[in-house]
Structure 1
């Protein structure tokens, strides 16, 4: 939908500087320069503006900041922006140097008292557009969408989004000329401008489509039904003022701030200046900008030298004093040097360089994405950015060049690959470790993984090497589809031309080093001890990757005969359910067809429609069926049939097909860099989502067995997130319950229902359990009422009583929401950062969801950190004590082991001790171990 913008067309490039500095501050860790001065926002601003200017080389530009003091909106509405938290002190300290460096970079800077940055930008944009010029506005502020027309385009550098008029329509559901009306209806929480209560984007867009404008909507208010219509009528007196507040002024008097204003020649006052290199060098020195300073010195010297083979850069990104942050910094356009190794002489030369290098990057090219089955086609190495070597080993197309024999090459590389002292790095090194293990090589010496560096620094973003290179280096390399094609025409890597493969694989290796030079200094700048991002990376994520590779490699035994019996039983039950459903419906129908189900439920049986799909058809999703199942028999049958069908298709039928023919075991893959909270996910097969709330689901675990002479042991943390809540909130009631070893749900019930501990009923305990876990997930009265099957008033009373008795929990929730809104993220006890982009800028429902996540994420994230630390500690002890026990699965807060009979007593005693000892909380950590012939019996 967005137009393709050619840089030459841009007459004026405008930057919402106030938006930029906040985004720069929240995007980077708490970096510090000389004298401990905060520099994170400084680094981010320089990097973002440098990249932006390279992307849109307009001759004219302005970086516009809000000035201190009131504007006309404050006079119109005293509560304007009243709910905004004060600027964080570390950011406030950086404002003067930010203005200084922006000017040194050549950007015209505007900060006009009494006029908001939005209004300055709006006035400049409209003025230049009216004179026929193209304008690009870089911002993340949705209010700016009202300025878009055929000559004004918005870009969001954080999301790589570009919006023209069609793009605004697609994103908001209204054209640019209706954005003011749209904002008036939904309100602007960031600026504390109320809209119409309970009217969100969809309703606002619908009303405007029906009535044409805000005036049209107001005129039709008397005929709009429901709560929304009632709320609209209540807001009629307010809406004209709301519209004025959200309207960007485009006719401000900029005289005295833009030379020559308002004459047409005034645009020349906003001409880019040449950066002042010597002043910049001084600035970079004062604030500790090591990489920017080094690169500027290189440009001044008119050279761009790469490190020589005799000067490989050290572990830590080139030289150990590399930059604190260079996010988004554009890389110079330098062609890489990629060598194809086809002689023993060149291989030995590179092997000598690798042996002497403190840190080398490597990348394997294979014939499969399955790490347990993939075989090497080629391997590349790099010691510095822009230079790499590729060893083709199994390219087999017509006229392929002669290649060195694979077995002999790997035999020569093996001593270096298995040398712990030889530092290595890569992108997703767990995969490369598996691939080389398939060839009998056990890689040691992994120092860094750019996938995990990115995950720790910015878990909410993408972590592929392609996206990292684009985001942090401004580089775009070859993609797999570029060289192999896609779909039915995709060729195997072994058929890729060797010269092309050399550039592709070599680029991957050297770009890993290039990305590392940007990301590692950001981690290195944080403390090496907890809580810190560096601690999470070095002490949690990197060791976890090694343990996960060993778990995946070992795999887990499944009993195919047990699964076959269960599949047959499930099939028989599903057939019976179909017949029962047909009898209720009075006719056969396709139980997998939403359309036919809808016709039976809502047309033939006359059951009330609960909600509709996007196409307007009655919904038959799981939520609807669960609601209807309480009153009607057919939805209950449908739900049970769906559950059994999923269980059969996903597990009892599929698991036997996933047994590796070589090992005789199932080997899942644990994705480490997916969930923002740090939790692992399992795939191919997914062993973490086996349903355990039904007897049929629980029985699937019977098929997970141990070999002869062994048993399965299951160790999991007891009520881990509640214990973390007690620790974080320091609530005396929760601390006391755990310290004394009381049943925390019974203790909660005693407090909430006001009965002695020994008189708490099973029903009251069940209610208390739902309350305890519900509040952890930010559940409100509506959610609690739904879970307990009670009315919302009763649910609210329970919550109020809970907070009366456990005031520390309430305080934690309130403080966490406020802190998250102020800084844009929350943290675990170990320093893992969970970014919440919509905690302030999202719509009402999305912001509420972000607030719930803010409450839960520190607990869920800390629990994820704890189970990873537990895996690391247990594996280390297994190795130290030379035990034959093996970790075979990790499922949420549980570790599953394969234990020789002779080591059962050791596992029962040591595993819970090790798991409980990975951290000291204000309440005791408790891990419990069960043992059985299969996974189900171990519970």
Structure 2
């Protein structure tokens, strides 16, 4: 969490009521109700585990009459008595809470809100930040710099800024806001017809309730008449809605320490109520009922339904149409979403409530299943409804699968894969790992139902008695994961905004990009492949002639023996196992003293281009579209950059003629052109922004050649006097330093003495002191926090920043320096992609995104719309971030990708 809360206050009465209405009406074998009780206990366990408070108060209403009834006899007069099966759960719940060692607070004649208000006020006076767990908007009036609200059922966190964003007024105006609207549940009169927007507008316009009352005569229309009719009641409403903060209590915040649990009492109650999962947690239980393992158990017995009839489908459709959030998952025949056949689909609408709708299980003896077309036709309105929020684990896959069946998934609200990635990009994000880590739950794995290796079967061959629980669990666990992950995101507003404004909107953009694909000239690649084969053979013959014997150029072991044992070349570096390294970096150094390493390097490069691109790409053309369709991944790199696979199109070299020839094989369809838009020196511009260095800012603002300007600065020359070689050295410094390069590394790259390189570095920092200060600040943040941040709040975690091994620690520090630049660049290109996609989708322009490679976007555009698209793309990319220096985009177009540069 972004802040620690020593005091946790729980509005238990409110949660019990909400849990009763939201969760399944569970009972034990004797018919005793348990559903709401279990819901509250699980909420408490989760809160305690996440927050680990020093002090906790679980507050219940005492019932009966209080001062508000004396002030206004009709207070709560319309509120019905709680249902009998809800009342029956109160005493057992309170007994269990006490047995858990949690301070239970029930103050006669005082409402729970007033107890919470008093304790939070006392805590603030003691300097103790307080977290109030509640779903009651009335408590928003307590929020300030010391008090935060969390609603665990919705994952909503409210600090002062959050209150203003949610209600349109600050916490100190919440009472006035509520008074204007009244409260029908508590029978508190307000202004008839005054809703949240009107109340917020009046308070914004007139300051507070007294101001609204004073200006009542000037407010026009029917609502003005209603206001004037209600004027006499508003002061009373304000008084009734104001939470007391000075109740005389026999205890204070620091009296609310948890105590060891009463295991015998807990065991007796759990056995009586048949709460098997809670019973299983008692072994090894610690203070306040938090066991050392399996702390995320939900405590409910899941109800997984196999939907085989139209009536069952209709029942689930009704639930989907009213669900606050729908968790969904598709089961298919393949990992490639574009080729996968839909076998079934699962849904969950609440913890423990999920269903699997099988559609195409074809094993011998499989039960009759609903017609796939019929089911999809019935589901289509819900799945395409943008007002029905959905959550999934890797929804891009499900979106692509459903698109094959004519369903455009809308309402994509949450993705647990992406939420986990935003929280910590270095962790594992697969469903099984997330369930274990956050829920303490061991999932049914795919191999458990489909087997492994050569014996693995397709999912359409998995029997329904195994497929049903597996598929339903995927959806249900995803929903529960969302309920755990979302509060963690909300607790860090910058991360939540990154997730909401960048990562989630990017999901459908990437899906469209993947489906668009890119056209390639297979004949051109095949011709290049033949040429590469000839050149590779020539290099092998040359290498063996220079070596004086035959050897395998693809064997690092044979190369090492030849270079270091026979030729006696120096061992520059070693592998982790201690053998002499023959890495590319080592061969580049050795190539300065012998020609054989240079030949081996060229052989490696051409062999990789041939195997990875010229041989492989033609085989990957989709026969249905005639195009190549790469897969983009949002959750792989630590920095936020996208990666691609099958094929990987991120690493085609651009600086070699062979690489450019491969790019020439990426072509536009007839009547179209490829448009390539690339950010110019974006990481250096981000460095200028983040460091605030005056000279860097001035150079970019003036539109100077930054490398020439750097050379002029550190050499004391006029820019026009800088030679090409001096500019090259300055470029190496500019890019090297933002990657944390040392003077030793710079010396190697420039081929100069280390002392000369060190002098370059020192002069650079003398001329750009803001850069040095920024780097020191980043190193300090990394060591203090374990992470650094991008401009948009993405956290780039550095698990080895405090490592005892100096080499690994230094590597983490180098990463820390570059990560804010590279991560911010990744955020900016993602924002640009979203903006370009929005323009295409809203205008219907004859253009589509087909590639994203590092800082570049490639579109396929109708020739007639080229100029219009060029300007729209430029505006979107240059407007993707507001930096202290201009964002500059270089745009070209042509019949192929290389010509577009």
Q: Same fold (TM over 0.5)?
A: yes
Aligned to 2:444: 478
Q: Distance in 2 between matches of 1:304 and 1:842?
A: 50
- Work out whether 1:493 is the aligned partner of 2:493: no
Asked if 1:100 corresponds to 2:61, the answer is no
Higher-Rg structure is 2
Matches within 5 A, 1:119-134: none
Partner of 1:711: 673
Asked if the contact 2:363–2:460 (Cα under 8 Å) also holds between the matched residues in 1, the reply is: yes
Conservation of the 8 A alpha-carbon contact between 1:33 and 1:288:
no
Partner of 1:523: 489
> What's the CA shift for 1:535?
1.1
Structure 2 distance, partners of 1:35, 1:919, is: 39
Are positions 1:667 and 2:626 aligned together? no
1:678 & 1:447 partners in 2: Cα distance? 20
What SS is found at the alignment partner of 2:728?
A: helix
Q: Corresponding residue for 2:132?
A: 288
Match of residue 830 from structure 2: 868
Alignment-derived partner of residue 427 in structure 1: 393
Counterpart of 2:319 (choices 345, 353, 373) is 353
Give the corresponding residue for 2:768: 806
Which residue of 1 is the match for residue 189 of structure 2?
Answer: none
Deviation at 1:855, TM superposition (A): 1.2
Q: 2:846 aligns with which of 884, 887, 895?
A: 884
Instruction: Trace 1:413-452 onto structure 2 (pairs within 5 A).
Output: 413-452=379-418
**Residue of structure 1 equivalent to 2:341:** 375
Matching residue within 611, 614, 617 for 1:649: 611
Q: 1:276 maps to what in 2?
A: 101
The separation in 1 between residues aligned to 2:870 and 2:674, in whole angstroms, is: 12
Q: Which residue of 2 aligns with 1:695?
A: 657
Matching residue within 693, 718, 724 for 1:731: 693
Report the Cα distance in structure 2 between the residues aligned to 1:688 and 1:646, rounded to whole angstroms. Answer: 14
In structure 2, C-alpha distance between the alignment counterparts of 1:481 and 1:896, rounded to whole Å: 39
Aligned partners of 2:8 and 2:57 also within 8 Å = no
Residue 780 of structure 2 corresponds to: 818
C-alpha distance 781-587 of structure 1, shift in aligned 2 (>3 A): same
1:542 and 1:915 map into 2 onto residues whose CA distance is: 19
Q: Secondary structure at the match of 2:685?
A: helix
CA distance in 1, matches of 2:417, 2:378: 28
Q: Find the counterpart in structure 2 of residue 29 from structure 1.
A: 2
Deviations 1:686-721 (A, max 9, x none): 000112232111211011001000011100111101
Q: Is the 8 A contact 1:32 1:525 kept in 2?
A: no
Write the distance in 1 (CA, Å) between the matches of 2:736 and 2:293: 38
Mark the CA change 1:512 to 1:765 in structure 2 (over 3 Å): closer, same or farther. same
Matches within 5 A, 1:829-868: 829-868=791-830
- What SS does the corresponding residue of 1:713 show, helix, strand or coil? strand
Distance 1:853 1:673 in 2: 18
Shift of 1:31: 6.8
> Are the counterparts in 1 of residues 743 and 761 from structure 2 also a CA contact under 8 Å?
yes
In 2, the alpha carbon distance for the partners of 1:561 and 1:33 equals 68
Q: Is the 8 A contact 1:31 1:525 kept in 2?
A: no
> Structure 1 residue 848: deviation in Å?
1.1
Structure 1 residue ranges without an equivalent (≥5):
1-27, 37-93, 105-272, 307-325
How big is the shift at 1:803? 0.5
Moved more, 787-796 or 608-617: 608-617
Distance 2:152 2:819 in 1: 39
Please tell me whether the aligned partners of residues 327 and 472 of structure 1 are also in contact (alpha carbons under 8 angstroms).
no
Residues 1:680 and 2:611 are matched in the alignment: no
Match of 2:601 in 1: 639
- Deviation of the 1:438 alpha carbon: 1.5
- The change in CA–CA distance for 1:615 and 1:455 in structure 2 (over 3 A counts) is closer
| One of 546, 554, 564 as aligned partner of 2:526 | 564
* 2:558 corresponds to: 596
State the secondary structure of the residue aligned to 1:557: strand
**1:565-623 CA distance string (max 9 Å, x none):** 11011011111111111211222222212233233333443434444445554433323
2 CA distance for matches of 1:347 and 1:98?
43
User: Secondary structure of 1:591's partner?
Assistant: coil
Distance 1:870 1:327, change over 3 A: farther
Distance of aligned partners of 1:35 and 1:906 in 2 relative to their CA distance in 1, 3 Å threshold: farther
In structure 2, relative to structure 1, the CA distance for the partners of 1:384 and 1:99 (3 Å cut) is closer
User: For the structure 1 residues 716 and 759, does the alpha-carbon distance in structure 2 shift closer, same or farther, using more than 3 Å as the test?
Assistant: same
SS in 2 for 1:546: helix
Deviation at 1:424, TM superposition (A): 1.1
RMSD, aligned α-carbons: 3.0
Flag structure 2 segments of 5+ consecutive residues without an equivalent: 10-47, 59-97, 107-114, 121-129, 136-149, 154-257, 277-291
- CA pair 305-921 structure 1, distance change in 2 beyond 3 A: farther
Match in the other structure for 1:399: 365
Distance (Å, rounded) in 1 between the aligned partners of 2:569 and 2:560: 10
Cα 1:845/1:477, change in 2 over 3 Å: same
Secondary structure of 2:324's counterpart equals coil
Q: Could you tell me how far apart the structure 1 residues matched to 2:3 and 2:827 are?
A: 21
In the alignment, the residues of structure 2 paired with residue 675 and residue 496 of structure 1 have an alpha-carbon distance, to the nearest angstrom, of 34
Of 576-585 and 620-629, the range deviating more from structure 2: 620-629
Q: Distance in 2 between matches of 1:679 and 1:294?
A: 32
CA distance in 2, matches of 1:366, 1:99: 45
The correspondence of residues 205-216 of structure 1 with structure 2, limited to 5 A, is none
Distance 1:648 1:30, change over 3 A: farther
Number of the residue aligned with 1:906: 868
Pairs within 5 Å for 1:455-466: 455-466=421-432
Distance apart, 1:492 and its partner CA: 1.1
Contact 2:779 2:813 in 1 (8 A): yes
Q: How many Å separate the matches in 2 of 1:448 and 1:304?
A: 34
For residues 103 and 57 of structure 2, the distance between their equivalents in structure 1, rounded to whole angstroms, comes to 13
Q: Distance in 2 between matches of 1:707 and 1:359?
A: 41
Does residue 387 of structure 1 match 2:353?
Answer: yes
Question: Which sits farther off after the overlay, 901-910 or 359-368?
Answer: 901-910
Distance in 1 (CA, whole Å) between partners of 2:349 and 2:450 is 26
Change in Cα spacing, 1:366 to 1:708, as seen in structure 2 (3 Å) is same
- Say if 2:878 is the partner of 1:916: yes
Task: Map Cα deviations across residues 751-808 of structure 1 (whole Å, 9 max, x no partner).
Answer: 1111111101111111111111111111111111111111111111111000000011
Q: Deviations over 1:813-854 (max 9, x none)?
A: 111111221122111111111112222244211211111111
Distance 1:616 1:866, change over 3 A: closer
For the residues of structure 1 that align with 2:317 and 2:57, how far apart are their CA atoms?
Answer: 48
Q: How does 1:140-151 map to 2 (within 5 A)?
A: none
What's the TM-score, normalizing by structure 1? 0.67
Aligned mate of 1:504, from 457, 470, 473? 470
1: CA distance between counterparts of 2:703 and 2:431? Answer: 48
Give the Cα–Cα distance (whole angstroms) in 2 for the partners of residues 98 and 484 of structure 1. Answer: 40
Secondary structure of 2:355's counterpart equals strand
Contact 1:327–1:518 (CA<8 Å) still a contact in 2?
Answer: no
Cα distance between partner residues in 2 of 1:804 and 1:645: 45
| 1:328 and 1:471 in contact (8 A); partners too | no
Check whether the contact 2:329–2:345 (CA below 8 A) recurs between aligned residues: yes
Partner residue of 2:279?
none
CA contact (8 A) 1:328 1:472 kept: no
Q: Report the alpha carbon displacement of residue 289 of structure 1 after superposing the two structures with TM.
A: 4.3
> For 1:549 and 1:562, how far apart are their aligned partners in 2?
28
Length, aligned pairs only: 663
- Quickly say closer, same or farther: Cα 1:457–1:598, change in 2 above 3 A: closer
